[in-house]
Amino acid sequence: MPAAATAALAEQLRHSSLQEIAASSRQAGLLLQQAQQLPQQQQQQQQAADPQQQQAEQQTPQQQQRPSMLCHTALRRLHIRFASVDSLTPLLERCPGLTDVHLDGPALNIQAAAAACPNIKRVAFLVGSPLELDAALFYLNGMGSLRGLELEVKGMMLSTEQLRVVGMLPLRELALDSHAYRQQPSMPRPQFSHLDNEGVKGLVDSICSRMRSDMMPLKLSLCGATALKQEAVSALLRLPMLTAIDTGGCIKLTPMDRMRLVAKVKAGQGMLDNRAGGGSHALASLRVPHGHAL
């Protein structure tokens, strides 16, 4: 091989080696730069994750497992049916300002409502078991702010003892209505009644005993009590301050019985007006079912 060709080949090989070395140097420089930037990126990611981790550590296990819900502090009334205690309690905890609840199910639902919402003033409860009613009355007796109670009775009769307990509650509004009447008020009612005359007497005795020290107006509803007669009316006339009464579905009450109740309600409203200083004569508040007009 001529010397000139050999020299050219050597020069070409040397040039190629220099290019490879330069390329390797550039690649090494990039790797070094990436290696230097990696700790900074990891530090930034860790700093961004620290507040989230601290917030997660501060949450209780229940808060971590339970989906987030808004706290409805302005909500005052809640109507919920077919709820268990486990599902009802989280909802009540987020509505601490409730004053009126409509519930059914076990009596423990009333206990949960009383614990989560201490300012409840009115409770409506669908009851179909004497045992559940006994438990419900126990929890209701511990609600210091309670002023209104609505028991919708389904398929059972309220005993005199239970009605005496109801009468001891510091209520201004009391509804003891039949579930069947509530569902279809216009249909003829069966002979079965959730209230009897003796039960009403026990209720009135208890209310009168309580109001000796704390007289307050009372609005009363006894809808669907098909067994009530003159004896129950005579007992109701002993109430200290009856300002409204609903006797829809009480088919055995005579027109004379209803006239006596009208007079009683007018007297109660007059007492209430005199106490308030109004001095006006209010009309009696008495609902009369169709077919029993006075």
What CATH number does residue 107 fall under? Answer: 3.80.10.10
**Residue 276 lies inside a defined structural domain of this protein:** yes
**Residue 23 lies inside a defined structural domain of this protein:** no
User: Domain count of the chain?
Assistant: 1
Q: What angle do CA 166, 222, 143 make, to 5 degrees?
A: 30
Cβ atoms of 195 and 177 closer than 8 Å: no
The whole-model pTM stands at: 0.71
HSE-up of 282 (CA within 13 Å, CB side)? 20
**Residue 35 lies inside a defined structural domain of this protein:** no
> Which of 256, 236, 238 lies closest to 246, judged by CA?
236
Residue ranges making up the domain that contains 168: 71-287
**Residue 38 lies inside a defined structural domain of this protein:** no
- Please give the Cα distance from 152 to 58 (Å, whole number): 44
Backbone angles phi, psi at 204, to 5 degrees: -65, -40
**Residue 280 lies inside a defined structural domain of this protein:** yes
**Residue 64 lies inside a defined structural domain of this protein:** no
Sequential pLDDT tens for the chain (294 residues): 555 555 555 555 555 554 554 555 566 555 556 656 655 666 666 666 555 555 555 555 544 444 444 566 677 888 888 777 788 888 888 888 889 999 988 999 999 999 988 999 999 999 999 999 999 999 999 999 999 999 999 999 999 999 999 999 999 999 999 999 999 888 766 678 999 999 999 999 999 999 887 789 999 999 999 999 999 999 999 999 999 999 999 999 999 999 999 999 999 999 988 887 754 444 445 554 444 433
**Residue 172 lies inside a defined structural domain of this protein:** yes
**Residue 62 lies inside a defined structural domain of this protein:** no
> Which of 184, 118, 195 lies closest to 159, judged by CA?
195
